[in-house]
Amino acid sequence: MVVSTERAPVNGSRQRRSHREVADVLRDRIRSGSLRPGQRMPTQAELADEFGVERGAVREALRVLHREHLLSNVSKGSPATVAEVPERAPLGAGSERPQPTMVGLAPRIASAFEAPHVEIDALCLTSVSLTMAIGEPLRQIHAGRRKPAKVDVRVLLPSRDIDLAFPAPVDGGDDEGDWVHRRWLDQRNAQGQVLRHNLLALRASHGIDVSVQFRALPFTPPVKLYLINGSEALFAYYTLTKRDEETGAGQEPLETYDAQGTQSMLFPFHQGEGVRDTTFVEQSHLWFNALWNTISQELRLAAG
């Protein structure tokens, strides 16, 4: 039996979800393109049924989005309409701001899994953040609240065969450099294997058509990029700091240059939200595809 995600309550209680939580989900759908400019919203009754809340919470959520200029016709008898120019929303309490990767990526990935065909491209150093972010939609799928028909994930990671610009020892010889490289490589491989295993398992458990591909880059990426469902780009800089790494019992910590990717600030760009955002999303896809189809090579997620 196929479980519908359109009308399934987000949770089983009509008392637990606040109007702000409902507004957050609907705002994400508008910004991701799931709800497009000019499109009529579901009725208040349908939204109340979907989110498992009273109609009063839905009405207040719609008013919040109307104040942010994301919806029109909220006060009229017919269902509200997605505003024609949502990019003009003021920079207020509900507007989208850059957020640390650990905070900003997970809800965007979870929202992506509402689509029947999920497409995620990522360029990063280890895929730690992506693996963590995909955990929530996987839980929703196993709970029967999501069921995309198809999931395509492509990940570009640095090659094991290059001298990484970072992480790298501040001072030290070949032994220290080899230790830092092995530590990064173990993390890259372990996270990639977990990501691939968890997604491919959806084939057997839920009959979802899943493709997970990795390719290796001949350079250390100074930025991270996530492209979601062809309509959204999340961009962040890797900012380097000095860090002390424990190398083993009784050993002196090793000072390294490294970046804490989970804290890198993600800047969101959305297709259709102005010339700047649309162009950035389009050019990011062109850039990613060019790397994927030219200088990247097959990546082996294995130890050694």
* pLDDT(253) > 70: yes
CA quadruple 177, 165, 126, 251: dihedral sign? positive
* pLDDT > 70 in the chain, percent: 88
Q: What is the pLDDT of residues 176-207, one digit of tens each?
A: 999 999 999 999 999 999 999 999 999 999 99
**Rounded Cα gap, residues 206 and 49, in angstroms:** 25
Q: For residue 114, give Cα distances in angstroms to 34, 45, 118, 123, 153.
A: 8, 20, 8, 22, 15
pLDDT band (50, 70, 90) for residue 294: very high
pLDDT at residue 109, as a whole number: 95
pTM of the predicted structure, to 2 decimals: 0.70
Mean local confidence (pLDDT), 111-137: 95
Q: Which residues 6+ apart lie within 8 Å of 303 measured at CB?
A: 186, 189
Q: Which residues 6+ apart lie within 8 Å of 14 measured at CB?
A: 48, 52, 53, 54
The count of C-alpha atoms lying within 13 angstroms of the C-alpha of 279, restricted to the half-sphere facing its C-beta, is 3
Q: What is the pLDDT of residues 148-167, one digit of tens each?
A: 999 999 999 999 999 999 99
Q: For residue 160, give Cα distances in angstroms to 189, 194, 197, 220.
A: 10, 18, 21, 10
pLDDT at residue 77, as a whole number: 66
For 152, list phi and psi in degrees, rounded to 5.
Answer: -120, 120
**Rounded Cα gap, residues 255 and 246, in angstroms:** 9
Choice among 52-56, 103-107, 185-189, 209-213 with the minimum mean pLDDT: 52-56
The label of the residue with tokens 């016709």 reads 73
